[in-house]
Amino acid sequence: MSYEVTATDGEARAGVLRTAHGDVPTPAFMPVGTKGTVKTLDPVELREVGTTILLGNTYHLRFRPGDDVVAELGGLHRFMGWDAPILTDSGGFQVFSLRDTIVAVDDDGVTFRSVYDGAAARFTPELVAEIQARLGADVAMCLDICLPAGAPSAELAEAVRRTSLWAARQRHAPRPPGQLLFGIAQGAADPELRRRSIEEVVALDFDGYALGGLSVGEDRDEMFETTAWAAPLLPDDRPRYFMGIGDPEGVLEVVERGIDMFDGVLPTRTARTGSALTWAGRLNLRNARFARDERPLDDDCSCPACARFSRAYVRHLVNQQELLGLRLLSLHNLRFLLELTARARQAIERGAFAAFKHEALERLAAARVEAS
Ligand SMILES: [Zn+2]
């Protein structure tokens, strides 16, 4: 079995996912390496701040440089210099979120125009399985149909039907030895459709399961409520992946509801806005109050940025749009989320997750008041 639960605390779980490139302790935050890179960071640095598994984007790598090129050069691990686990998405999320580029969706697959050059392209379950095989992903994801929040229920039902149809086909498509395959349940926050989607996908017996179609613009309370009843419907002995959440508060909420894996671009996107995620709240380094601040970004952080540089220096770099500023903030923000996740895991192991979460949320909320 590729997944083992090692401790539970309420619905929250700690565990280990075993992959061809090593073990991943869960809960696990997966930094997103969209185009074969986590923006501005070297894989050695990713390791140093505690990354255990990276997410790669099938859509982008398919078109640039091409999965055939990556395969010729030894696969994505070798190509990007990362020898630890990689999960690749199916590319479906990009296709369905770039809605203007969709030409046609039918039971066989989806035809769209590439965002790079407008050329016609088509994804089918069999093709995304092939692409993820060429990339050499440790964990591959099924092609699914993810709709934005508020989609009409007839459209949602059709997305659930096709997602199951495609999952069944991809389940039986050829796969490289050792590659794990996760199924994805859709259905937004609709109780009947979400339940149906989970039942149909779980019946296909995947190595792990994702809740897709959440965190797509719906109300946050509704998203957490859906997670609370949907996560326990997934098998206990398989990893559960919440697609697309990476803010500190959100991570704590989904872990409490039984989620083991999650990904998000928030750490690097926040860095690009000149902000640092800290236990003292979100710091906007552009603010003049940091001009002579000699303290590190976060007193409670051991990342390279905090070990060696002051807020005043990072602020200077950000204001001058120096690349080092972006790199230091990206490193720090990643470290913050990975450390938060690691502490959540330790709290689950101690049977103290509720107290840990309560204290963490209080610190983050108090800081927000102070920062505003
Ligand atoms: Zn730091």
Pairing of strands 110-113, 102-105: antiparallel
Distance CA 128, CA 167 (A): 11
* pTM > 0.95: yes
* Distance between Cα 35 and ligand 1 center (Å): 25
Distance CA 250, CA 364 (A): 12
One-letter amino acid of 328? L
Structure tokens at 251: 């991570």
Tokens 């965002």: give the residue.
Answer: 115
pLDDT for the residue 372: 46
Verify whether residue 263 is a known catalytic residue.
Answer: yes
* Distance between Cα 68 and ligand 1 center (Å): 38
Structure tokens at 147: 């709709």
CB atoms within 10 A of CB 237: 11
| 100 contact partners, CB below 8 Å, separation of at least 6 | none
Ligand 1 ion: Cβ-proximal residues, 5 Å cutoff: 301, 303, 305-306, 332
* Distance between Cα 361 and ligand 1 center (Å): 19
DSSP per residue over 16-52, as a string? EEEETTEEEEESEEEEEETTSS-TT--HHHHHHTT--
* Distance between Cα 300 and ligand 1 center (Å): 8
What pLDDT, in 10s, does the model give residues 116-165? 999 999 999 999 999 999 999 999 999 999 999 999 999 999 999 999 99
pLDDT for the residue 369: 55
Distance CA 26, CA 2 (A): 13
pLDDT for the residue 364: 87
pLDDT for the residue 1: 77
pLDDT for the residue 119: 96
* Distance between Cα 93 and ligand 1 center (Å): 31
One-letter amino acid of 268? T
Distance CA 14, CA 9 (A): 9
Q: Are 228 and 297 in contact (CB under 8 A)?
A: no
Structure tokens at 360: 């963490």
pLDDT for the residue 365: 84
* Distance between Cα 36 and ligand 1 center (Å): 24
Q: Name the H helices within 203-292.
A: 220-230, 248-256, 266-272
Structure tokens at 138: 């440790």
* Distance between Cα 349 and ligand 1 center (Å): 25
Q: Name the H helices within the chain.
A: 43-48, 58-63, 67-72, 76-80, 92-97, 125-135, 153-171, 191-202, 220-230, 248-256, 266-272, 304-308, 311-319, 323-350, 353-371
Phi/psi region, residue 105 (left: phi>0; alpha: psi -120 to 50; beta: rest), is: beta
pLDDT for the residue 368: 63
Residue from 138, 207, 247, 263 carrying the catalytic annotation: 263
| 111 contact partners, CB below 8 Å, separation of at least 6 | 102, 103, 104, 105, 120, 121, 122
Verify whether residue 23 is a known catalytic residue.
Answer: no
What pLDDT, in 10s, does the model give residues 329-352? 999 999 999 999 999 999 999 999
Q: List the chain residues with pLDDT less than 50.
A: 372
